[in-house]
Structure 1
């Protein structure tokens, strides 16, 4: 099978979508499928015969995101040469539009994974407002209804999409992780390199350090815990705009020596970091699937987290961690964390259950589900009675999809002024 994946974020960008695409493409390629990725240019990106980089504006609006420039002929020529059986879109705009254009013209199925709650990321765009959030919701909803199948990374997101009026078939397929790699990390090696004292209890967090990850709340919750337990260290893995603010606030609380922040880690270094932790903390309310939660659990780490989408599916209170209400205070979070930090026996008991929970997110299992989805769509598209795709057919399809994309944009603008069923739906 030939699979084309279009994504606005890709390696070496640090983030859940980039890692999701990488994991899926590598797993599909390992099964013998041909995979090509179309992504924006990105500083430090290594050339690859499997990746088409399209011109892009770097560090859009001061963020670490790139925005591709509209040069459709580059993508068109690439697609004509590759002749994919299926297109997998990972965003509902920019290169997501290109995915639909090529899919409709070439008469191949388009799959879309709803990775992100886009309305919670509008602060990266100038003139952020409630109207802009409604536009983002409506745009993503209309985009879903132009695709052949929508992938929801969790049941929470699947239910939300249906509530918003998505009529395209929705399947729940989580992003897979290499559980074996995280199970075999060498924590003692990382602890030695980090110069942690013997018997130090390590609280960990991994991820892109950005405002939407609720890191101020997490910092407020960690400070009293670290102050009460001087034998405890916070291991902060990742990078982003919120990093300096977090480190400054810990310093103001006199906790410089209780923080170890090595920045972005990958490969065996990341696995070793997870293995060096005794527990994991997570406060984000913007997840569609908490990939780092599955990674942490695969390494045997119980989790303390706030209830939310993508979190409630994996964290089970009093079994593999502590799941607090979404409106819990930093003090509530801190007390739950102290209970875990203070009880090695409780952590050991939860660690085994955490590892079992992570098995549901193993790459093999998740890839099986995705390949089955691909296979069904391609088989349906290749029905014997399907007519040949002539130049005229492509022209007509091109006009149709441009009209549909324009209609979706108009619908999104309308939603900025008037509530729609999509914008009125709420995430439980």
Structure 2
């Protein structure tokens, strides 16, 4: 089959949805399919390139000023352009799979209907992921949230099939009024790459962390909805009970503020900010850690949590949205309530101080993660695509 993905985020290599597209595309190519992507280009020009076997059509784009989003984010220019229609007519995909409803996703959905191409939409979206970048007054936030979901429904209600990474995410959009066929399919994780046998000693040596000093890890965008300040505050309490290190890996709008907070709390020597970690180095990063911690309030699944579990880590996560589907309280980790940094700290200390508990929770993480093998995810999407093509 010829499968074409559409996204406004393909070159922004810090979003979970980007990783999902790359992993899924890799699996589809391995199974003999041709994969194409329409995404923002890296310049003001329309481009064509080959990325790991994927033909990528770049739609000319402009960069958002740093004052709004200081992470090299680009906006595609689709208004008044027939470029997307031309690409679809040239490629003649058997099925289209959009990853969002914005400029490119919305335009592809519209043109696919015109050309009678079956279209699937995967939802990675929550308004909480971007509303704060608009800097709205408090009274306007709920209005903007409803407006954002309305725009999502405008595009996704016209699709043939909608997929989401979790049952929680499926219920969320169903309750908003989406009446399409909604199928929850895990984002998946490569269990061959992420596993407990990986060696993290190199990174311990790089950051001069003694082998006896446990490590708490977070991986992801350093943005407001990730609530990383709660991890830092909880870590300050944790240090009073056990010597440890906190690694906060990633880039984003909040990085400088988080570094300042670390200094203010006197934690500069104990918190490491390595910046964006390339995909090739991620398995070793997880292997360095003893526990994974996440306080994000807007996770429809969390690819980083999947990777941590596949690496055999216990997880301490906020009890929000879909994270409880991965973190079974008291089994492979613990849940804490948003804002309760004391409880977060207590749970981290409990895991770090008890080697037998860590082993038990590690074993449970590896058991749960078997349900999220990327190979199974690829097969499930193939079945959806094949069924749509035949109908």
TM-score scaled by length of structure 1 = 0.84
Residue 379 in structure 1 maps to residue 368 in structure 2: no
CA distance in 2, matches of 1:37, 1:101: 16
1:101 to 100, 110, 119: 110
Residue 62 in structure 1 maps to residue 74 in structure 2: no
Tell me, yes or no, if the aligned pair for 2:216 and 2:245 is still in contact at 8 Å: yes
CA distance in 1, matches of 2:252, 2:102: 23
**SS of 2:168 mapped into structure 1:** helix
1:149 to 138, 154, 161: 161
Give 1 or 2: higher helix fraction. 1
**SS of 2:334 mapped into structure 1:** strand
Residue 142 of structure 1 and its aligned partner are, at CA, apart by: 2.7
Residue 113 in structure 1 maps to residue 122 in structure 2: yes
Residue 362 in structure 1 maps to residue 373 in structure 2: yes
Q: Match for residue 58 of structure 2?
A: 53
CA distance in 2, matches of 1:46, 1:110: 22
CA distance in 2, matches of 1:25, 1:289: 19
Q: Match for residue 39 of structure 2?
A: 39
CA distance in 2, matches of 1:292, 1:336: 20
**SS of 1:357 mapped into structure 2:** helix
Tell me, yes or no, if the aligned pair for 2:84 and 2:108 is still in contact at 8 Å: no
CA distance in 2, matches of 1:203, 1:329: 18
Residue 352 in structure 1 maps to residue 356 in structure 2: no
String of CA shifts for 1:174-213, please: whole Å, max 9, x gaps. 1121111111421122222222112110110000100011
After alignment, is 100-109 or 148-157 more displaced? 100-109
CA distance in 1, matches of 2:175, 2:16: 24
CA distance in 2, matches of 1:237, 1:119: 21
Residue 19 of structure 1 and its aligned partner are, at CA, apart by: 1.0
CA distance in 1, matches of 2:288, 2:331: 21
Tell me, yes or no, if the aligned pair for 1:185 and 1:268 is still in contact at 8 Å: no
Residue 259 of structure 1 and its aligned partner are, at CA, apart by: 1.5
CA distance in 1, matches of 2:22, 2:322: 20
Tell me, yes or no, if the aligned pair for 2:222 and 2:253 is still in contact at 8 Å: yes
RMSD value, Cα = 1.8
The total of aligned residue pairs comes to 377
After alignment, is 61-70 or 33-42 more displaced? 61-70
Residue 236 in structure 1 maps to residue 248 in structure 2: yes
CA distance in 1, matches of 2:48, 2:136: 34
Residue 152 of structure 1 and its aligned partner are, at CA, apart by: 1.2
Higher relative contact order (CA 8 A, sep 6+): 1
Q: Match for residue 340 of structure 2?
A: 329
String of CA shifts for 1:26-48, please: whole Å, max 9, x gaps. 111111111100101237x9942
Residue 118 of structure 1 and its aligned partner are, at CA, apart by: 2.4
CA distance in 1, matches of 2:235, 2:205: 23
Q: 4+ residue stretches of structure 1 with deviation over 6 A? A: none
CA distance in 2, matches of 1:127, 1:318: 39
User: 1:18-33, aligned counterparts within 5 Å?
Assistant: 18-33=18-33
Residue 307 in structure 1 maps to residue 319 in structure 2: yes
Q: Which runs of 5+ in 2 are unaligned?
A: none
Q: Match for residue 228 of structure 2?
A: 215
After alignment, is 291-300 or 56-65 more displaced? 56-65
Residue 120 of structure 1 and its aligned partner are, at CA, apart by: 4.5
Q: Greater CA radius of gyration, 1 or 2?
A: 1
Residue 196 in structure 1 maps to residue 177 in structure 2: no
Residue 124 of structure 1 and its aligned partner are, at CA, apart by: 2.2
Tell me, yes or no, if the aligned pair for 1:87 and 1:109 is still in contact at 8 Å: yes
CA distance in 1, matches of 2:115, 2:70: 34
CA distance in 2, matches of 1:346, 1:19: 31
CA distance in 1, matches of 2:179, 2:94: 23
